[in-house]
Amino acid sequence: MISNTLFLVLGGCLLGAVQLFVGVAIGLWTRRPDSAAAKHGRAELHRAGAIAKRLQNLATEMSSIINEHCSELEQASQMLSLDGSQSDEPIPDAVMNVIGHIVHANQSLQSKLDQAESRLKEQAVEIESHISRSLTDALTGLPNRRDFNVRLEERMSTWQRRREVFSLLMLDVDHFKNLNDTYGHLAGDKVLTALGAALRGAVRREDAVARYGGEEFAVLLPNTSLEQAMLVAHKVREAVARIAVEHDGHQIGITVSGGLAAIRADERAETLIHRADEALYAAKRAGRNRAFAHDGTECRGVTGEQEGAAPAVVPQANVSTESLPAMVDVESWPAKIESAKSAADQPREVISAKLAETCQELRQFLAQRAQSEVTTSPANLAK
């Protein structure tokens, strides 16, 4: 029991220290080299160093306890190996004293191991909290680029095993530098925070939104084809367009440009990101505030995203012009009315008396209206 607990404590210390340093190293390597990120990275590294130091002290203390316990057991063994003639005590009493000494040493060791295990659990909680912070963007509360890379690898693994298609949407805030220059970096931070909240609300729970770096965001869309991802991009753009950040009496609105790509056969994660970036750059070149998709061959605009697109053409019914009143050539109305009367006199299906009366009233009204238009026409007035 003591041996198992001992190995657990020492193994936990070593594994925790290794995991901590590897996590911090990867986090610092993937983070972009801006000043805020560098300060945050140094703070995280200092915190990781403090945790690692405490783990090292705990391991050293446990090693000292183990050596002390081994010495006590060795002493007990020597006492048992003494010849009875060399001891003034009866052999049974000497054996009982040695056993009591061993029991006391084991109890002391067990107590110290329990304390060490408790401290190790506290360190494990702190390490877990530290790792969680290293996976989260401090400003927006979204997963950071390191967490995004982990999730992307998971998606790639699922794609390779089960061919579950997924898409990637890369987003970039339009004219973000101008926004910072005009309103200040505090306003820019507010905009990024509001954008993170809007993105979370615009996608499904299973979609992974991350701050990729600076003003760039990434959205992983599991079980989503390129055509379905286009609808998501349009929904995201609409959600972003509704953002209004209040800062120093100003209402700040933003737009985003987006680039889409869906995973293709035998494609690596780096290639997928590259294609989504290419589509994003195409959206920027096309005027921003829109999304483009890379289909594996070329970039094309997402339907409904382009500004100034030609409106849809509604097919016109094939209606004869003779069935419509000629509002310009009013002098031809009487002839057309007479023709209509003639057609009305042809045999028809029997209709109700009320409907026939209504039709007759309508014909009379049209005839009077036409006669009035003819009388007041410019040609007749000139005569």
Q: Tell me the two tokens of residue 277.
A: 């970036």
Q: Which residue type sits at 240?
A: V
- Cα gap 148→257, rounded to integer Å: 20
- Model confidence at 35, pLDDT cuts 50, 70, 90, reads very low
The pLDDT of 331-344, averaged and rounded, is 50
* pTM summary value: 0.54
- Strand positions, DSSP E, 138-240: 166-173, 208-213, 216-222
Taking the C-alpha atoms of 64, 70, 75 and 78 in order, what is their torsion angle to the nearest 10 degrees? -150
- Cα gap 216→173, rounded to integer Å: 7
Find all residues with CB under 8 Å of 168, minimum gap 6, and list them.
Answer: 152, 218, 219, 220, 221, 260, 261, 262, 263, 272, 273, 276
CA-wise closest residue to 302 among 264, 257, 242: 257
**What residues are labeled active site?**
215
- Model confidence at 292, pLDDT cuts 50, 70, 90, reads very high
Place of tokens 């999730």: 151
- Cα gap 128→10, rounded to integer Å: 18
Write the DSSP symbol of residue 204: -
135-166 tens-digit pLDDT: 899 999 999 999 999 999 999 999 999 999 99
Q: Cβ distance 209 to 217 under 8 Å?
A: yes
The pLDDT of 278-306, averaged and rounded, is 90
Q: Cβ distance 339 to 318 under 8 Å?
A: no
Q: Cβ distance 59 to 35 under 8 Å?
A: no
- Cα gap 169→204, rounded to integer Å: 14
